[in-house]
Amino acid sequence: VEKQPELACVLCFDVKVDEEAKKLAAKTGVKIFTADIIYHLFDQFTKHMDDFRQKQREANAGLAVFPCVLKIMPTCIFNKKDPIVIGVNVVEGIVKVGTPLVIPNKGNLVVGKIIGIENNNKPVDRAKKGTDVAISIQADTTSIMYGRQFDHTDTLYSQLSRASINALKEFFKEDLQKDDWKLVIKLKKMFDII
């Protein structure tokens, strides 16, 4: 029950569960599923596991950083200081709201965190490779400014860490394609993540 609480289940097909067993299950954190039709029992357990996975994803969404490489479009600079609002092309990966951005060729200069993404003037929570979007960046410090510390000649990268890669592997594996995992490996080497 302690290591994998989602698996602390008893599946009861076409049997009656007595009250004492129900009380013990409730006390120990074991979930009891009952059904007279085997498919209904299967559906209950599947829904239970899907709900558990979704809760885990939501709980770890802030920790997982999706890999992305962004090229700044020089003709789409809307605000140069906090919040920095610029147009970018998603060269590789998936850009999401909450992604921390860095510039590796400037000593891993931390630009800030994406607080908003717009595609065709509509807010979205993510954009994939090949898409042009406007992003709002909450600057890491008040001194970070487009045109001063960085400009359109710099490429923005998502700032991965060991913890964010682990969260991707455990909770968001199905959200990434093969090319996205190759980008994770590339960024892992770039940021010397062991």
pLDDT band at 59 (very low <50, low <70, confident <90, very high): confident
Structural tokens at position 66: 């999706």
Give per-residue pLDDT as tens, 141-173.
778 999 999 999 999 999 999 999 999 998 888
Q: Compute φ and ψ for 17, nearest 5 degrees.
A: -100, 125
Query: Sorting pLDDT into bands at 50, 70 and 90, what band is 129?
Result: very high
pTM: 0.76
3-state secondary structure of 75: strand
